[in-house]
Amino acid sequence: MNEVLSQDEIDQLLQAISSGDSEADDYKPVNDTRRIKIYDFRRPDKFSKEQIRTVSNMHETFARLTTTSLSAQLRTLVHVHVASVDQLTYEEFIRSIPTPTTLAVINMDPLKGNAVLEIAPEITFIIIDRLFGGSGDTGGKVNRDLTDIEQSVMEGIIVRILANMREAWTQVIDLRPRLQQIETNPQFAQIVPPNEMVILVTLEIKIGEEAGMMNICIPYITIEPIVSKLSSQFWFSSVRRSSTTQYLGTLKEKLADVEMELVADIGSINVPIRDVLALRIGDVVRLDNIRVGEPLTLSVGSKKKFYCQPGVVGKKMAVQIIGKIEEHENEDFEELTPEGDETI
């Protein structure tokens, strides 16, 4: 903020300059060190740096999945990696892609709105040539529209790619992307107004010695409901949560087949070791605190879990479960045995 000088201060300053006591150059204005950030109201930033970084992490997973699936389907070495993640207007995206191209309009259910998956022509025709039995060498760039058969083949490829996208987005939302249609002219894929902000994920695909680009364009209004989840904290907490529950169903299924020993405990008594060694056939051991009609305890492994009563099924002895032992009751059973004694 500039300081306002009084009239006396102005007079003293002029007198000092005229008398030669001070030079005019000594009174230079102070440089303004404030940083000025240019802001374009025509293309406001809708995504923070953290959100863009999270989207990049998600699509790194998508790139790895797509590398595996395309390599298996094309029977050749394929490498996919994230080249960049940017935010720009939809008009800028449309102007940046060639015509004709392979442009898939994707329904982002359960999110409202659509997204666009664009595969560069050089990659499209390499994929088609490989699937038709060729070597993948297209002899340079091919610049033409897809035939009906080629478009049908690319639909199958895109459906597989969308399955990878669904898996990559699992940590944030249960996304169910579906292919709506394939266009070759970008002007026919106006899913949002031209000045609407979008997030653009650019991936580089290398098939053999040939390389090209694949773009995923997602409008802000489509993912606005989940923008708060696009944070590093939410992302890593979701990854940890999923890693602990991913194999929970399999573990339960395997544990269900594990055999456990069941023991019906009629009663017990503490006796010295010398008495145990002196036991002979026909001796009677009197158990403490056992009454006729009282329930027995049924142990599963080393834990007392149920109350039961003895009986017979056919010609075999059996027990019938009549109740469950609660945790606080189980603690009462686990008292220490006096030293030098043996429990029978």
pLDDT number for residue 42: 61
| Long-range CB contact pairs, 250-257, < 8 A, 24+ | none
CA 72 to CA 60: how far, in whole Å?
19
3-state secondary structure of 333: helix
Q: pLDDT band at residue 343, thresholds of 50, 70 and 90?
A: very low
pLDDT number for residue 106: 93
Topology at the third CATH level for domain 262-280+287-343 = Surface presentation of antigens (SPOA) (2.30.330)
341 burial (CB, 10 Å; 0-12 / 13-18 / 19+) is: middle
What tens digit of pLDDT does each residue of 126-135 get? Answer: 999 889 888 7
Angle CA 174–177–178, to nearest 5: 145
Please state the rounded mean pLDDT for residues 221-225. 88
Question: Would you say the pTM of this structure is higher than 0.85?
Answer: no
pLDDT number for residue 1: 46
Instruction: Taking each helix axis as running N to C, give the angle between helix 232-245 and helix 49-74, from 0 to 180 degrees, rounded to the nearest 10.
Output: 40
Please state the rounded mean pLDDT for residues 8-18. 75
Q: pLDDT band at residue 264, thresholds of 50, 70 and 90?
A: confident
For tokens 């009563």, name the residue: 309
Does 247 score more than 90 pLDDT? no
3-state secondary structure of 243: helix
Q: Tokens at residue 176, please?
A: 């169910």
What tens digit of pLDDT does each residue of 138-162 get? Answer: 765 677 888 899 999 999 999 999 9
What b/e sequence results for 36-75 when a residue is b if at least 16 CB atoms lie within 10 Å of its CB, and e otherwise?
eeeeeeeeeebbeeebbbbbebbbebbbebbbebbeeebe
What tens digit of pLDDT does each residue of 31-85 get? Answer: 555 666 665 566 666 778 888 888 888 899 999 999 999 998 888 889 999 999 9
E strand or H helix that includes residue 164: helix 148-168
For tokens 């009239």, name the residue: 7
Share above pLDDT 70 across residues of the chain, in percent, rounded to a whole number: 80
**H-state helical runs in 211-326:** 220-223, 232-245, 248-255, 273-277
pLDDT number for residue 341: 47
The CATH code for residues 49-242 is 3.40.1550.10
pLDDT number for residue 170: 86
What tens digit of pLDDT does each residue of 179-220 get? Answer: 999 988 888 888 888 888 899 999 999 988 888 899 999 998
pLDDT number for residue 31: 58
Does 267 score more than 80 pLDDT? no
**pLDDT winner (highest mean) among 2-11, 198-207, 299-308:** 198-207
β-sheet bridge partners, residue 79: 206
Domain layout of the chain by residue ranges: 49-242, 262-280+287-343
Mean pLDDT rounded to a whole number for the chain: 80
Domain 49-242 and domain 262-280+287-343 have a common topology = no
User: Does residue 141 or residue 311 have the better pLDDT?
Assistant: 311
